[in-house]
Every structure is written in structure tokens, then in C-alpha cells.
């Protein structure tokens, strides 16, 4: 069943151009079907995760999908976010291409969420990458092509590093199945070669997750692509790459050096992202840099060992998944420099109010979910022994101040007294999408308690290595 | 003998990788960058095939499975996938290079990057931050080549 959530959008992407009069509703219908599939497996996945062997070929030789609470949650998020950011427009050839690419992106993202096999993850990751190159170049401007080309070169170089990482793992263990790898990793991979493989995979998958040294593409692409695409890449794709890295870290490489690498790169990402955002003078690039900083916090959170780290990381990732697309949607009509935004919040009342709401949540003002996410990270860091953890906590606190400074500078400009009526009001579709995300945010802050419990359950499932192995390899098979 | 060849093959694979990565980082010409990517990918693929290779293996589909060992088929299947992905990405990269040539009239990545930064700053209505290396007074960029724009259909100047 869950395999359809991956297959339907991929099939739909290629059927879409042939749909004729049904074109307008076909893509959203496919995404709704994916959402329904995710909901149909939801109760079972939350209660008891299960593995699906594709074509009845059992692991470790066959390909498996592993569906736990987090996988179901992210599959649902993929469908809903793609639906929210769907390129509604007149069915020209150009729009059809964009809709097809969005469907491919959705299918591949769902694949990343449920895949239980390292090589399949690589293939889905490449699918996501190719779809995102197309979407990034989709604005049609020369700068858009330049940014997309540079993104393509960086990303394919990094994918190759990831492939070499997979090669090293296969060379050592003779398998690419995650459960089987988890079984043999303590003997075969917990050594310098295994660590090298992890670092290669970290760099390779880190490109989409905006990891510190490989994120040069972020501000260029987000500034030149359509805001909808920036929202999709920053909000959705980065989270799926993050999820894959967490699975690797929990199942195959629960090593201190691996955690430390994640912690160090995450901390550097927070520092560089937030400071660059402070210097940025237009809204789009400010939001891109801030996104790098936010994902740095998620990396730091996932570096914390044990369940506390997974809970905190999931909270940060989900909060960013809701907040950043909304901010990019609001930035659609606020393209110019921040100075030029004077009074824009007075003219577009709802847009201004939503921007303030999301800015407050990003900074972490108490009743909003952003506060709880940061609190979880900081308490997790404080519980660890050692200077590096406390340094990371100090960096997060200091950079929160910087974050507040630049976001409130924008808010100040939005409500500055100004009479010239330059900026246009927001498009209804964009404002509605941002409004829905805002409602999600408010609902999240109202039901913070139950949400925290649900996250805790999911994190326990993600962190349970032995259960993962037992569910995928039921007979205790060790060799193929 | 076989061991020596194996070592040579590994050296070759890693050498191809190094050449490719150096090429991507050091080249300025778009086409050379794509070419270097392709070389690096060949190195990576060779490395992957080598992990499962055996010298004394036979092809079981011809000789029969009982005749001896066979090479590990899993890396070969993976390399096939990886080659196909690589071809697709390179074609896309070349298509984008064509569009860039039409739009900016150059294939020099550094010039394209400078123009892109300029375009982003213009679109955002801000003055780009001044580079440390730039001579005072700025360095004018050459105008876009109109030849490419006039001859090509559907350019996005």
C-alpha cells in the first residue's frame, strides 16, 4: 500500500501532460491520494512500525520500505506541503512542466521518507535533485539558470561523494540494506573507514539539508527561483535529507566522532547562517541564510545522543517545515530591499500579522512552537557533559539574539510610517497558504503537550535500533 | 600479477576521481566543468565495480553456475543505475549551459557568477557588497553578446 505513495506521484508526473481537460485537477488529486495513503497507514505506523518487502523479495536481498511514525508523518507532510505550494495556474506547457516536476519531487521525497535501503535512498535523492534543478531554473531568468547550474555542479559532485561512501560501506559489509547494516555495523563499520564513509555520506546528503560547508547554493537559488520553489526546497526537501541522515546516524553509525562531526558542522552552520542573515539587505536572501542557521540547530539537535536528541531534532525540523515556507510565501511580493518595505505591513494587514507571528516563532517567543523546539535542544545540550555541547548551546543562545535583531528590523520596517504605495498586496493564493500554515503554528502552540508526547513516541521508534532490525529481518538472517 | 592489476585499477579509479574533482573546482569553462564531472563519475563507478570484482570468476549464464565463483552482481546493477543518472544530469547541465550562453554571452563560470550576483542585487534593489579584490571604482562587465540573443529562439535575456 505505502509503495503507492511513492509510485503514484512518479507515474502521475508522466501522465500529467496527457491529461487534457483534467490537467488542472489531476496533480492535486494525486497528492490527495498520497495524503490518504499516509493517513491510512498512520494508526498502524504509530502503534507498531512495519516493513514492506517490494515484490515479496525479502530483505536483505530484496528492497524494503520501513514505515514508522516518522515515515508516515513525513509522507503526509510531503503531500500536504506540495499541495499547499502547488503551481496553480493556467495550463500552459510551462506550468505543466512545473506541475510534473513538483509531482516527481513529491514521489521522490515520499521515497526518501520510507526507504530502508541505502542505494534506494541514493536513487530517490538523485530524483529529488534532478527535479529541484528543473524547478530552480523554472523562473526562466538568466540569473536563475546561473544559480541552478552552480547548484547542479555542487550537488552532483556531492552525490558522487555519497556514492563513494556507499561504495566503502558495501566494500566492507556486502550489503546496502539499512537493517542488515545496523546488524553488522558494530563489527564492520565502527572504524576509521566506516567513519570516512559516514563523512562522505554526510557531505553528500548535506547539500540538500543545507549543511555548513556545502550550502553555497542556498542564497543564490532561493533568491532567483520562484518563492514557491524556495519554500519547497527550504521547507520540505531539506527535512527529508535530514531524516535520512538521522536514520544513518541511529542505525549504522552511533559513534561519538560521527556525532561530533554533526555537532561541529551544525554549530558552524548556525554561526555562518545567522551572521550572514544579519548582513543581508533583501528579504529573500535573509530568509535563505536564516534557513541555513535553523537547519544548523536541527543538526546540533540530532547530534545529541539518545532519545532526547531525536525529539529535539524532530521538533526543530517540523517547526521549520511550517514556518519557513510561510515566510517565503509572504516574501513573494516583498521582493525589494528591506528598506523599501516601509509600511508594507500596514497595506497588507494579514500578511504583516502573519510575518510577525512566524518571526516570533522563529526567534522562540514562549507560547509558540519555536520556543518549545529551542527549549528541547538547549535542555538536551545542557544534559551532556563536555565543552563542545555547552559551546553549541551558547552559540544557539547568542545567535537567537542576532535572529531577533534582523527579524524585528524587518518587522519594524513593515510597520514604519510611509505614504508611498509601492508594494502590491499579496496574491490571495499565497496569503491563504501562509494563513493555513499560520493556523498550524497556532494549533501547535495550543496543543503543545499532546504534540510533545506524540513526538516522544515517534522518536522512541526512530531510536529503537533492535526493533528496526527485528522487523526488517524477522528470521534473524545474518547473511544473504 | 592479478594483484598488481587490481592495485593499478584502484589507483586508476581514485586518480580519475581526483582529476574530475580538481577539474570541477579549477575549470572556468562550463563545458569543461561538465566534462570533469563526467570523469569524476567514471572514477566513482569504476571504484564501485571493483568492490565486487573477482579475477577467477566466470559468467554463470554461459558456463553454468556450478563452474565456479561469479562476480558480485549487486555493484554492477548499482553502477548501471548510477551511469544512467549521470547521463541524465550531464544532459541537463549542458542544456543549462546552452541557456546561459544565450543569456549572458559567455561560458566563463566566474563571469557568469559575477553577472548573476549583479542580477540578484539589481532585482533586490540593493547595492552588492564590494569585493576586497576589486579595484576602486569597480570593474565594468562586458555587455551581453547580442549575437547569441538574436540568433537563438526563446532566449530569456
Task: Name the minimum distance, in Å, from the CA of B54 to any CA of chain A.
Answer: 13
> Is the peptide bond preceding residue A60 cis, with omega within 30 degrees of 0?
yes
pLDDT at B67 (0 to 100): 65
pLDDT at B58 (0 to 100): 75
Look at A424 and A209; give whichever has higher pLDDT.
A209
Contact list in B for residue A340 (CB cut-off 8 A) is: 125
- The span from the CA of B103 to the CA of A23, in Å, is 32
Mean pLDDT computed over every residue of chain B = 80
A 254-273 residues inside an 8 A Cβ radius of B: none
pLDDT at B154 (0 to 100): 42
Mean pLDDT computed over every residue of chain A = 86
The enclosing H or E element of A467 equals helix A465-472
Closest chain A residue by Cα to residue B41? A160
- The span from the CA of A360 to the CA of A200, in Å, is 36
Task: Assess whether pLDDT exceeds 50 at residue A48.
Answer: yes
Structure confidence at residue A91 as a pLDDT band (50, 70, 90) = low
Structure confidence at residue A421 as a pLDDT band (50, 70, 90) = low
Q: Tell me what percent of the residues of chain A surpass a pLDDT of 70.
A: 96
Task: Assess whether pLDDT exceeds 70 at residue B115.
Answer: yes
Residue A130 and residue A97 in contact, taking contact as beta carbons nearer than 8 Å: no
Tell me the per-residue pLDDT of A184-193, one tens digit each, with 9 for 90 and over: 888 888 888 8
Task: Assess whether pLDDT exceeds 50 at residue B152.
Answer: no
Each domain of chain B, given as residue ranges in start order, spans: 2-59+72-124
Task: Name the minimum distance, in Å, from the CA of B63 to any CA of chain A.
Answer: 23
Contact list in B for residue A147 (CB cut-off 8 A) is: 116
Task: Name the minimum distance, in Å, from the CA of B62 to any CA of chain A.
Answer: 23
- The span from the CA of A456 to the CA of B28, in Å, is 50
Task: Name the minimum distance, in Å, from the CA of A158 to any CA of chain B.
Answer: 10
pLDDT at B135 (0 to 100): 55
Q: Which three cell numbers stand for residue A370?
A: 519555536
- The span from the CA of A116 to the CA of A20, in Å, is 37
Residues making up chain B, counted from first to last = 157
Q: Under an 8 A CB cutoff, do B124 and A337 touch?
A: yes
Nearest Cα residue to A245 out of A205, A274, A279, A280? A205
pLDDT at B131 (0 to 100): 55
Choice among A232-246, A430-444, B55-69, B80-94 with the minimum mean pLDDT: B55-69
Measuring CA to CA, how many Å separate A9 from each of A89, A105, A148, B44? 19, 8, 24, 30
Residue of B41, B72, B93 lying closest to A160 (CB–CB)? B41
Q: Once rounded to an integer, what is the mean pLDDT over residues A211-228?
A: 87
Mutate to test the interface with A, among B36, B96, B146 (most CBs of A within 10 A): B96
Task: Assess whether pLDDT exceeds 60 at residue A63.
Answer: yes
- In chain A the first and final C-alpha atoms are separated, in Å, by 26
List residues bridging with A115 in a β-sheet: A65
Tell me the per-residue pLDDT of A273-291, one tens digit each, with 9 for 90 and over: 999 998 888 888 889 999 9
Tell me the per-residue pLDDT of B38-64, one tens digit each, with 9 for 90 and over: 999 999 999 988 887 877 777 777 777
Out of 3.30.70.1290, 1.10.10.10, 1.10.287.3510, 1.10.1060.10, select the CATH number for domain B2-59+72-124.
1.10.287.3510
Contact list in B for residue A160 (CB cut-off 8 A) is: 17, 37, 40-41, 44
- The span from the CA of A391 to the CA of A264, in Å, is 10
User: DSSP assignment, residue A53?
Assistant: E
Q: Once rounded to an integer, what is the mean pLDDT over residues A420-444?
A: 77
DSSP string, A318-379: HHHHHHHHHHHHHTTS--SBSGGGTTHHHHSHHHHHHHHHHHHHHHT-TTSHHHHHHHHHHH
Choice among A414-423, A457-466, B12-21 with the minimum mean pLDDT: A414-423
Whole-structure pTM value: 0.89
Task: Assess whether pLDDT exceeds 50 at residue A4.
Answer: yes
Q: Once rounded to an integer, what is the mean pLDDT over residues B62-84?
A: 81
Phi, psi angles (nearest 5°) of residue A337: -70, 160
Q: Under an 8 A CB cutoff, do B125 and A282 touch?
A: yes
Q: Which three cell numbers stand for residue A314?
A: 524532530
- The span from the CA of B157 to the CA of B150, in Å, is 10
Q: Under an 8 A CB cutoff, do A164 and B47 touch?
A: yes
Tell me the per-residue pLDDT of A313-366, one tens digit each, with 9 for 90 and over: 999 999 999 999 998 888 877 777 777 777 777 777 888 888 889 999 988 888
pLDDT at B141 (0 to 100): 63
Structure confidence at residue B138 as a pLDDT band (50, 70, 90) = low
ipTM of the complex model: 0.85
pLDDT at B157 (0 to 100): 38
Look at A57 and B33; give whichever has higher pLDDT.
B33
Q: Under an 8 A CB cutoff, do B124 and A223 touch?
A: yes
Mutate to test the interface with B, among A92, A152, A344 (most CBs of B within 10 A): A152
- The span from the CA of A212 to the CA of A270, in Å, is 8
- How many C-beta atoms surround the C-beta of residue A36 within 10 A? 12
Q: What 3-state class would DSSP assign to A19? A: coil
Q: Under an 8 A CB cutoff, do A142 and B85 touch?
A: no
Q: Once rounded to an integer, what is the mean pLDDT over residues A217-223?
A: 88
Residue B154 C-alpha from the chain's centroid: 26
Residues making up chain A, counted from first to last = 480
- Dihedral sign from CA coordinates of A159, A160, A166, A169: negative
Residue of B75, B93, B124 lying closest to A152 (CB–CB)? B93
pLDDT at B37 (0 to 100): 93
pLDDT at A237 (0 to 100): 92
- The span from the CA of A53 to the CA of A49, in Å, is 14
Nearest Cα residue to A304 out of A262, A349, A333? A262
B interface with A, Cβ–Cβ below 8 Å: 17, 21, 24, 30, 33, 37, 40-41, 44, 47-48, 51-52, 72, 74-75, 78, 81-82, 85-86, 88-89, 92-93, 96-97, 99-100, 103-104, 109, 112-113, 115-116, 119-120, 123-126, 129, 156-157
pLDDT at B139 (0 to 100): 56
Structure confidence at residue A295 as a pLDDT band (50, 70, 90) = very high
Residue of B74, B81, B112 lying closest to A146 (CB–CB)? B112
Residue A459 and residue A376 in contact, taking contact as beta carbons nearer than 8 Å: no
Residue of B40, B92, B126 lying closest to A133 (CB–CB)? B92
User: DSSP assignment, residue A59?
Assistant: T
Task: Assess whether pLDDT exceeds 50 at residue A384.
Answer: yes
Q: Under an 8 A CB cutoff, do B51 and A171 touch?
A: yes
Size of interface A-B (CB pairs under 8 A): 128
Residue of A130, A224, A340 lying closest to B120 (CB–CB)? A224
Contact list in A for residue B129 (CB cut-off 8 A) is: 279
A163 in B contact zone (CB under 8 Å): yes
Q: Under an 8 A CB cutoff, do B123 and A145 touch?
A: no
Interior/surface letters B119-152, b for 16+ CB within 10 angstroms, e for the rest: bbbebbebeeeeeeeeeeeeeeeeebeeebeeee
Residue B140 C-alpha from the chain's centroid: 30
Choice among A252-256, A343-347, A396-400 with the minimum mean pLDDT: A343-347
Amino acid at each position: 500500500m505505502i509503495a503507492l505513495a511513492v509510485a503514484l506521484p512518479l507515474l502521475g508526473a508522466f501522465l500529467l501532460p496527457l491529461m487534457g481537460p483534467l490537467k488542472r485537477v489531476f496533480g492535486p488529486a494525486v497528492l490527495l491520494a498520497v495524503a490518504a495513503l499516509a493517513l491510512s497507514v498512520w494508526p498502524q505506523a504509530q502503534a507498531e512500525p512495519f516493513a514492506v518487502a517490494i515484490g515479496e523479495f525479502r530483505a536483505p536481498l530484496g528492497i524494503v520500505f520501513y514505515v514508522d511514525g516518522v515515515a508516515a508523518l513525513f509522507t503526509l507532510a510531503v503531500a500536504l506541503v506540495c499541495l499547499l505550494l502547488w503551481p496553480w495556474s493556467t495550463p500552459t506547457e510551462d506550468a505543466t512542466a512545473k506541475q510534473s516536476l513538483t509531482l516527481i519531487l513529491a514521489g521522490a521525497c515520499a521515497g526518501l521518507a520510507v526507504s530502508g535501503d541505502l542505494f534506494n535512498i541514493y536513487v530517490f535523492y538523485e530524483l529529488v535533485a534532478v527535479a529541484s534543478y528543473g524547478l530552480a531554473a523554472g523562473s526562466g531568468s538568466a540569473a536563475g539558470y546561473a544559480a541552478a547550474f552552480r547548484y547542479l555542479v555542487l550537488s552532483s559532485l556531492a552525490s558522487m561523494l555519497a556514492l563513494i561512501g556507499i561504495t566503502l560501506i558495501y566494500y566492507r559489509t556486502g550489503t546496502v540494506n539499512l537493517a542488515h547494516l545496523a546488524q553488522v555495523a558494530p563489527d564492520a563499520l565502527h572504524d576509521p573507514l566506516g567513519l570516512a564513509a559516514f563523512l562522505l555520506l554526510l557531505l553528500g546528503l548535506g547539500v540538500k539539508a543545507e549543511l555548513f560547508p556545502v550550502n553555497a547554493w542556498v542564497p543564490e537559488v532561493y533568491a532567483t527561483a520562484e518563492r514557491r520553489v524556495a519554500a519547497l526546497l527550504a521547507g520540505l526537501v531539506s527535512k527529508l535529507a535530514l531524516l535520512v541522515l538521522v536514520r544513518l546516524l541511529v542505525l549504522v553509525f552511533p559513534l561519538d566522532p560521527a556525532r561530533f562531526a554533526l555537532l561541529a558542522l551544525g554549530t558552524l552552520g548556525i554561526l555562518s547562517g545567522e551572521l550572514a542573515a544579519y548582513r543581508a539587505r533583501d528579504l529573500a536572501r535573509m530568509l535563505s541564510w536564516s534557513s541555513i542557521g535553523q537547519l544548523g540547530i536541527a543538526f546540533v539537535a540530532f547530534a545529541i545522543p539518545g532519545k532526547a536528541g531525536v525529539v529535539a531534532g524532530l521538533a526543530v525540523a517540523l517547526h521549520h517545515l511550517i514556518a519557513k515556507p510561510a515566510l517565503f510565501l509572504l516574501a513573494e511580493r516583498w521582493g525589494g530591499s528591506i528598506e523599501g518595505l516601509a509600511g508594507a505591513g500596514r497595506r497588507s494587514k494579514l500578511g504583516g500579522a502573519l510575518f510577525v507571528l512566524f518571526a516570533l516563532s522563529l526567534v522562540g517567543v514562549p507560547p509558540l512552537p519555536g520556543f518549545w523546539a529551542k527549549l528541547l535542544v538547549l535542555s538536551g545540550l545542557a544534559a551532556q557533559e563536555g565543552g563542545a555541547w555547552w559551546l553549541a548551546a551558547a552559540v544557539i543562545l547568542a545567535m537567537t539574539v542576532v535572529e531577533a535583531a534582523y527579524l524585528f528590523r524587518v518587522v519594524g520596517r513593515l510597520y514604519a510610517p510611509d505614504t508611498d504605495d509601492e508594494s502590491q498586496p499579496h496574491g490571495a493564493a499565497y496569503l491563504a497558504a501562509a494563513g493555513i500554515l499560520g493556523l498550524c503554528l497556532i494549533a501547535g502552540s495550543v496543543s503543545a503537550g499532546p504534540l510533545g508526547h506524540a513526538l516522544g513516541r515517534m522518536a522512541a521508534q526512530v531510536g529503537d535500533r533492535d526493533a528496526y532490525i527485528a522487523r526488517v529481518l524477522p528470521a534473524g538472517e545474518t547473511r544473504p | 600479477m592479478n594483484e598488481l592489476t587490481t592495485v593499478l585499477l584502484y589507483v586508476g579509479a581514485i586518480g580519475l576521481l581526483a582529476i574530475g574533482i580538481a577539474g570541477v573546482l579549477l575549470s572556468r569553462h562550463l563545458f569543461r566543468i561538465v566534462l570533469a564531472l563526467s570523469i569524476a563519475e567514471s572514477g566513482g563507478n569504476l571504484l564501485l565495480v571493483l568492490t565486487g570484482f573477482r579475477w577467477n570468476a566466470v559468467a554463470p549464464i554461459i558456463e553454468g553456475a556450478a563452474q565456479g565463483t561469479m562476480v558480485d552482481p549487486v555493484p554492477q546493477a548499482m553502477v548501471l543505475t548510477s551511469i544512467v543518472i549521470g547521463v541524465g544530469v550531464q544532459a541537463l547541465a549542458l542544456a543549462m549551459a546552452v541557456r546561459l550562453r544565450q543569456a549572458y554571452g559567455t561560458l566563463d563560470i566566474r563571469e557568469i557568477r559575477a553577472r548573476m550576483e549583479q542580477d540578484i542585487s539589481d532585482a533586490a534593489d540593493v547595492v552588492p557588497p564590494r569585493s576586497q579584490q576589486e579595484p576602486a571604482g569597480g570593474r565594468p562587465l562586458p555587455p551581453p553578446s547580442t549575437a547569441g540573443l538574436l540568433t537563438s529562439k526563446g532566449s530569456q535575456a
